């Protein structure tokens, strides 16, 4: 716990009230209740609290200290502890709003009070960083899945204004298979992709999924058979390998995705799609600086090729990633 002087420094200069943190534990329950009341008021008006919302963290420190001291005296604190848990739960759920209100002030104040890496001085930043990572992974993988230019018969179906019933059913099967992959039911996913290949055997997407999932299950003969079928539907080895890398990435097999991306890059080192997809691999492994660089490279190559679609996608994703990166604490 910081000293009384350091703890109150920010509040003296930046808030209307002054929070007094005593040097010695108090014995009355009233100060805890007062702190809980004040915390509830701040939480209820969090959207308008501004930098003053930081007072919550000082209040939490005070409440924890007092509850511990009173607990050693065998005080009945069931009501107060229940209220404190509820308030913490509200802050946990509204952490993004809290961080938006306090901004860089959290980093600055944390340094000033020399806060240990305890739950609330650090937890909100850490949780927000995890949220950003999860969001970025979904964004990159999802956009890569939607954005990569697939060659072969699959594109022909995109030209139909009203695809035949079996084509629509095949697409539904593919989407159902992807859902099962997310749910972790690989066998059910395989059943869906198998049905899709029977409905639309000239679509490489379902064949790639079958190969990737058989590979995941260690069924190499079936995997190679599916990959061979998919490869025959692409005009070039490059398109086949790059799209297989995309499916590996969507399935969560980052190692195989990375291997295929590098194989595709060896075949065509000037393809912007290679760097766009490699950014997804980098993001999955937590290498966000590399992801930013690859998206920049993808945008530059797309500009050279006149591919305005890829250029816009890479530029947009790079800007989004830059916004999601956590604020770096000065050393």
SS3 23: coil
| Residues 206 and 190 both lie in one domain | yes
Task: With respect to residue 77, please indicate whether it lies within any of the assigned structural domains.
Answer: yes
Task: With respect to residue 143, please indicate whether it lies within any of the assigned structural domains.
Answer: yes
Average pLDDT over residues 49-73: 78
Q: For position 264, which CATH number holds?
A: 1.25.40.10
Token duo for residue 304: 């050279």
Banded pLDDT at 161 (limits 50, 70, 90) = very low
Average pLDDT over residues 248-259: 92
Asked whether residue 153 carries a pLDDT value surpassing 60, the answer given is no
Task: With respect to residue 43, please indicate whether it lies within any of the assigned structural domains.
Answer: yes
For 181, the domain range is 163-233
| Residues 213 and 297 both lie in one domain | no
Which is nearest to 294 in space by CA: 247, 255, 262, 251?
Answer: 262
Sequence-distant (≥ 6) Cβ neighbours of residue 321 within 8 angstroms:
136, 139, 283, 288, 291, 292, 295
Average pLDDT over residues 153-172: 60
Task: With respect to residue 124, please indicate whether it lies within any of the assigned structural domains.
Answer: no
| Residues 145 and 274 both lie in one domain | yes
Helix/strand number for the chain, H first, E second: 17, 0
| Residues 72 and 173 both lie in one domain | no
User: Among the three residues 185, 215, 233, which one is the final residue of a domain in this structure?
Assistant: 233
239 or 165: which leads in pLDDT = 239
Task: With respect to residue 264, please indicate whether it lies within any of the assigned structural domains.
Answer: yes
Q: pTM (2 decimals)?
A: 0.54
| Residues 243 and 288 both lie in one domain | yes
Task: With respect to residue 331, please indicate whether it lies within any of the assigned structural domains.
Answer: no
Q: Note the pLDDT tens digit of each residue in 94-146.
A: 777 777 777 766 766 666 666 555 566 666 655 555 555 444 444 444 444 44
pLDDT > 90 fraction of the chain, expressed in percent and rounded:
27
| Residues 287 and 272 both lie in one domain | yes
Sequence-distant (≥ 6) Cβ neighbours of residue 137 within 8 angstroms:
283, 284
Banded pLDDT at 33 (limits 50, 70, 90) = confident
| Residues 289 and 144 both lie in one domain | yes
Number of structural domains (the chain) is 3
Predicted pLDDT at 58: 79
Which is nearest to 56 in space by CA: 5, 94, 6?
Answer: 94
Helical H segments across 103-164, by residue range: 105-112, 119-147, 153-158
Task: With respect to residue 21, please indicate whether it lies within any of the assigned structural domains.
Answer: yes
Banded pLDDT at 151 (limits 50, 70, 90) = very low
Q: How far is CA 80 from CA 19, 55, 74, 77, in A?
A: 19, 19, 14, 5
Q: What is the distance between the alpha carbons of residues 66 and 77, in angstroms, rounded to a whole number?
A: 11
Phi and psi, residue 234, nearest 5°? -105, 150
78 or 238: which leads in pLDDT = 238
Residue 221 burial (CB count, 10 A): 8
| Residues 261 and 277 both lie in one domain | yes
| Residues 71 and 134 both lie in one domain | no
Distance of CA 75 to the CA centre of its chain: 43
Task: With respect to residue 109, please indicate whether it lies within any of the assigned structural domains.
Answer: yes
Banded pLDDT at 45 (limits 50, 70, 90) = confident
| Residues 245 and 138 both lie in one domain | yes
For 78, how many CA atoms within 13 A lie in the half-sphere containing its CB?
1
The answer to whether the beta carbons of residues 154 and 203 sit under 8 Å apart is yes
| Residues 242 and 319 both lie in one domain | yes
Predicted pLDDT at 325: 62
| Residues 40 and 98 both lie in one domain | yes
């Amino acid at each position: 716990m910081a000293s009384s002087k350091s703890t109150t420094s920010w509040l003296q200069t930046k808030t209307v009230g002054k929070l007094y943190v005593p040097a010695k534990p108090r014995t009355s329950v009233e100060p805890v209740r007062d702190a809980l009341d004040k915390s509830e008021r701040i939480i209820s008006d969090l959207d308008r609290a501004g930098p003053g919302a930081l007072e919550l963290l000082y209040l939490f420190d005070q409440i924890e200290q007092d509850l511990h001291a009173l607990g050693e005296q065998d005080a009945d604190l069931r009501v107060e502890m229940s209220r404190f848990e509820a308030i913490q739960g509200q802050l946990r759920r509204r952490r993004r709003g809290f961080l938006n209100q306090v901004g860089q002030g959290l980093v600055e104040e944390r340094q000033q009070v020399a806060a240990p890496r305890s739950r609330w001085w650090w937890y909100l930043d850490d949780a927000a960083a995890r949220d950003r990572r999860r969001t970025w992974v979904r964004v990159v993988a999802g956009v890569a899945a939607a954005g990569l230019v697939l060659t072969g018969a699959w594109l022909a179906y995109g030209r139909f204004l009203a695809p035949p019933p079996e084509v629509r059913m095949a697409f539904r099967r593919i989407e159902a298979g992807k859902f099962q992959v997310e749910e972790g039911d690989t066998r059910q996913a395989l059943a869906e992709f198998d049905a899709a290949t029977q409905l639309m055997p000239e679509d490489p997407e379902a064949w790639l999924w079958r190969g990737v999932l058989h590979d995941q299950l260690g069924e190499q003969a079936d995997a190679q058979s599916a990959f061979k079928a998919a490869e025959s539907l692409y005009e070039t080895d490059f398109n086949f390998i790059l799209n297989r890398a995309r499916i590996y990435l969507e399935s969560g097999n980052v190692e195989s995705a990375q291997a295929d991306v590098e194989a595709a890059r060896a075949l065509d080192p000037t393809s912007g799609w290679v760097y766009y997809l490699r950014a997804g691999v980098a993001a999955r492994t937590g290498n966000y600086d590399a992801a930013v660089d690859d998206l920049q490279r993808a945008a530059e190559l797309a500009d050279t090729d006149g591919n305005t679609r890829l250029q816009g996608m890479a530029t947009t994703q790079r800007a989004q990633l830059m916004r999601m990166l956590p604020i770096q604490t000065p050393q």
